[in-house]
Amino acid sequence: MPDKYLKMILNSRVYDVATETRLDFAQGLSVRLGNDVWLKREDLQPVFSFKLRGAYNKIASLDAASCEKGIITASAGNHAQGVALAAKHRGIKSLIVMPRTTPGIKVSSVRALGGKPLLHGDTYDEACEHAHKLAKERGMIFIHPYDDPEVIAGQGTVAMEVLQQQRDPIHAVFVPVGGGGLIAGMAAYIKALRPDIRVIGVEPEDAPCMYEALKRKRRVVLDQVGIFADGVAVRQAGKEPYRLARKFVDEIMLVSTDEICAATKDIFDDTRAMVEPAGALAVAGIKKYVEREGCTDESLIAINSGANINFDRLRHVAERAEIGERREALLAVTIPEQPGSFLKFCRTLGKRGITEFNYRYADAHDAQVFAGVQLSGGDEEREELLDTLRKQGYAVVDMTDNEMAKTHIRFMVGGHASGIDDEVLYRFEFPERPGALLKFLASMGKRWNISLFHYRNHGAAYGRVLVGVQVPPAERKGFRASLDDLGYTWFEELDNPAYTLFLG
């Protein structure tokens, strides 16, 4: 098995269009982690992603007759650009089906690279289904983004370069995982030549398709996937990548959105490059691995898989990086509603910097404060701070890992509402595009009154909304049924302490 892919990788045609990218030493990360950390800079490819390798290797394997009617694929970004450039190089017409939620920068890039973008559906699955339908109707060749041996072999050339560039012992290579094409090709190559090297995949906690597949010993279809790291937001691992991963991958690690944001900042600090969320997964995995294993003086390699980030999303990355690095704590603190209470509270915090402070009068007895506090000692210092506040008589709730608090509450602290009966609270995610918010509101209907609403656009593919609705208990079963009919991902949040402390 490894020999088959070894030969395919060695004979791949990727360098007709792709470049051999650098393996950069990450000085800052290495010092902080006590290990030698190296970054494989696939963000420096002509399309700013490794996806060009596999796309071209597949297209180069096709004969002229097969391509006469053109090729087609479905992608929300990196694979689309890879296929467009590869097809242009071979003089083949390419049709790229992209979800309507795809950022304009990626649609424009496909067009500039010679591909013809066609927007269809709100998700990759809908776009892919339409692409397969068109391929059949028009006799076009479908180029799969990861579940194809030629694509896998093309991605495997990343491992070939890594082993050529780093001749010294390597402890582990960390690889971002979506559908699995990259890690499948890299693991097959590495285990054929250097079986002592650990191959570790990294996925977001909210999109663990390969992690769940290996855990359950079968491919699974996730009910939903998180969309922050859109480059790896895949509901099911590919059949061939899963088969190879079972044989050659040592482990799949999961990391949080905040850990991805912190890793994005780490990469920027060392290289001044801004990678996309999926491109920072491997570094986030390295940091978590070093903390877990306590290893030192090892050589660890991260694959920076891509840099196609929507500029607007940088706001979200910047907001969450400090939390992901455990350099900020978000706290909900009850203080007395009396003169001097703010001053006393700030003195209790000591000389720590305050990153934000949100408050509004609620009643004559107590005040609820939402505070961001800078930390230099990570989780240990956070626990010490919580203990100090409690010993001083403050009621405090740690909101640092509360998603609703970080996404919504910190921006809308305004005091408790009075006279609001039968309120229920839900978080929604819906495809983001012009008019999407209006459509969401219209779809909520007029049967129930909206009592709370918060929406913030981060430049992502999906919008996030927090909604309070007045629904009598007898009507709640029908209300939840209407939510299912909407077709949006939703989370019930009525018991979330961020709501009860600041808004309920």
Residues recognised as catalytic? 51, 305
Q: Is-contact 71 83, C-beta < 8 A?
A: yes
Q: What is the secondary structure of 226-280 as a DSSP string?
A: --SSGGG--SS--HHHHHHHHHH--EEEEE-HHHHHHHHHHHHHHHS----GGGG
b/e per residue 143-181 (b: at least 16 CB within 10 A): bbbbbbbbbbbbbbbbbbbbbeebeeebbbbbbbbbbbb
Residue 24 amino acid letter: D
Please state, in angstroms and as integers, the Cα–Cα distance from residue 32 to each residue in 29, 319, 503, following that order.
5, 22, 40
In 389-475, DSSP assigns E strands to 395-398, 423-431, 449-456, 462-470
Query: For the chain, how far is it from start to end, CA to CA, in angstroms?
Result: 59
Rounded distance between C-alpha atoms, residue 395 and residue 414, angstroms: 19
Count of Cβ atoms closer than 10 Å to residue 210 Cβ? 29
Q: Is-contact 124 76, C-beta < 8 A?
A: yes
Q: Locate 458 and state its tokens.
A: 């981060």
Helix H or strand E segment including 367: strand 366-374
Query: What's the count of helices (H) and strands (E) in the chain, helices before strands?
Result: 19, 18
Count of Cβ atoms closer than 10 Å to residue 459 Cβ? 15
Helix then strand then coil, in percent of the chain rounded to 5, is 45, 20, 35
